[in-house]
């Protein structure tokens, strides 16, 4: 397959900003059942192989899970501090949970679980996120064994629209990318 | 007046991360008329004096303006890279535009315009943001004179709910702040 045309500037930004771990921490906006926006930092894990889809992980008990069930569209805002450029990626959100029985999806979930450190896995055994904190409940849990804990899910963003703004330059440069009715990507320069 | 209890940890984060200009560039999520989220980086200017309200600036021609008219609630996600902590501030959004004739609001708008550099003001004379780019239209414009250009607006976020997550610590620390029915701020420790 050929990748979407915004993959090349995004790959360049990831490369040029690679010295900073936080260059992989963009912000994901979703909408709750009351129609209000929610926004939180997420960790970009990788692209799903041979696709333009971005992979993240989440706890199925987190607030974003019912939000995505209500409105499966999100917008990721990704600001790169060193090169001073922003990507906004809007698109469809979906989850791979323990209930998924598609073999490729199961494999993706297992593969991402394998990439986590012991500490990273531990968090999926912690008490329910967002609930009042009670002191017990954070004892280390034996997670040496696969499979992934049932609270562990993969979050997939399939971009449909990308806006790339480069603050360097006077005037600044901004490009928009979108899919036409045949799902071919198109792009144009727009005013910043 | 007394400030909200989340002001103190936020002031501390701003202070500890002050060496990085981008520590003042959080991401603001809004909802469009189709019920989809939008998310972009904004520049935190200041607090409105004697309030807990955060000030930003915007061009009235930007997409966020009709979004806010449709849904006047936003969530700001603010990740501080040096201290590794995140604030999520959800609350009411409002604008001060050239049409506003309340004297205090007019003054706030003039004051923020005065803080802008010549280059910063220039952008409000640029062609309409988001429209296809045409080469002419970026000639310097004489902006020595007040008042602010009619495209210049102030954006105000009045937080109603704040979530503060500190990644340092094992387990991480997370606190939630909200206003009760008497508009008094309350807080509690919650699970990360």
Question: Domains of chain A, with CATH numbers?
Answer: 7-116+146-190 (2.30.110.10)
pLDDT exceeds cutoff 80 at B108: yes
Interface check for B75 against chain A (CB to CB < 8 A): the answer is yes
Contact B85, B77 (CB under 8 A): no
At residue B93, the 3 state secondary structure works out as strand
Residue B21: pLDDT band by 50, 70, 90 thresholds? very high
Which of B 48-67 lie inside 8 A of A, CB atoms? none
Q: Do the Cβ atoms of A79 and B27 come within 8 Å?
A: yes
Q: Do the Cβ atoms of A133 and B75 come within 8 Å?
A: no
Q: Do the Cβ atoms of B190 and A133 come within 8 Å?
A: yes
B120-178 pLDDT, tens digit per residue, is: 998 998 999 999 998 766 777 676 666 899 999 999 999 999 999 999 987 899 999 99
A55-89 pLDDT, tens digit per residue, is: 999 999 999 999 999 999 999 999 999 999 999 99
B65-101 pLDDT, tens digit per residue, is: 999 999 999 999 999 999 999 999 999 999 999 999 9
DSSP codes of every residue in A56-84: EEEETTSTHHHHHHH--EEEEEEEETTTT
Nearest to B38 among A25, A75, A132 (CB): A75
- pLDDT of A137 reads 67
Interface check for B30 against chain A (CB to CB < 8 A): the answer is yes
- Stated pTM of the model: 0.96
CB neighbour class for A27 (10 Å; exposed up to 12, middle 13-18, buried from 19): buried
At residue A182, the 3 state secondary structure works out as coil
Read off the pLDDT of each residue in A155-168 and give the average, rounded to a whole number. Answer: 97
Q: How many CB atoms lie within 10 A of CB B110?
A: 15
Report the range of poorest mean pLDDT among A4-18, A117-131, B10-24, B52-66: A117-131
**Best B37, B38, B120, B164 residue to mutate vs chain A (most A CBs within 10 Å):** B37
- pLDDT of B118 reads 86
Task: List the beta strands (DSSP E) in chain A.
Answer: 27-31, 37-41, 46-47, 54-59, 73-80, 85-96, 152-166, 173-179, 185-190
- pLDDT of A136 reads 67
Rounded to a whole number of angstroms, the distance from the CA of B103 to the nearest CA of chain A is 31
How many residues are present in chain B? 192
Within 8 A by CB and 6+ apart from B191, the residues are: A126, A127, A128, A129, A130, A131, A132, A133, A137, B171, B174
At residue A177, the 3 state secondary structure works out as strand
Q: Do the Cβ atoms of A189 and B27 come within 8 Å?
A: no
Contacts B73 to A, Cβ<8 Å: 36-37
Percent of chain A whose predicted confidence (pLDDT) is above 90: 84
- The whole-angstrom separation of Cα B26 and Cα B29 is 10
B41-64 pLDDT, tens digit per residue, is: 999 999 999 999 999 999 999 999
- pLDDT of B169 reads 80
Read off the pLDDT of each residue in A163-176 and give the average, rounded to a whole number. Answer: 92
pLDDT exceeds cutoff 80 at A150: yes
Q: What is the bridge-based pairing of β-strands B54-59 and B173-179? A: unpaired
Single out the residue of B49, B16, B22 nearest to residue A81, CA to CA: B22
Residue A144: pLDDT band by 50, 70, 90 thresholds? low
Rounded to a whole number of angstroms, the distance from the CA of A118 to the nearest CA of chain B is 13
């Amino acid at each position: 397959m050929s990748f979407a045309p915004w993959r090349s500037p995004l790959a360049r930004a990831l490369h040029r900003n690679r010295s900073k771990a936080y260059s992989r921490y963009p912000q994901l906006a979703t909408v709750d059942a009351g129609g209000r926006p929610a926004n939180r930092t997420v960790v970009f894990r990788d692209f799903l192989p041979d696709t333009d889809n971005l992979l993240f992980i989440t706890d199925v008990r987190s607030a974003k899970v019912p939000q995505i069930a209500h409105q499966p569209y999100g917008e990721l805002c990704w600001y790169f501090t060193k090169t001073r450029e922003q990507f906004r990626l809007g698109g469809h959100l979906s989850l791979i949970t323990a209930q998924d029985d598609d073999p490729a999806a199961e494999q993706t979930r297992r593969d991402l679980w394998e990439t986590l450190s012991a500490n990273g896995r531990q968090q999926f055994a912690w008490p329910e996120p967002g609930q009042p904190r009670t002191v017990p409940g954070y004892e280390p849990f034996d997670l040496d064994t696969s499979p992934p804990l049932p609270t562990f899910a993969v979050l997939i963003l399939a971009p449909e629209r990308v806006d790339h703004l480069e603050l360097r330059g006077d005037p600044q440069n901004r490009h928009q990318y979108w899919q036409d009715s045949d799902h071919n990507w198109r792009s144009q320069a727009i005013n910043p």
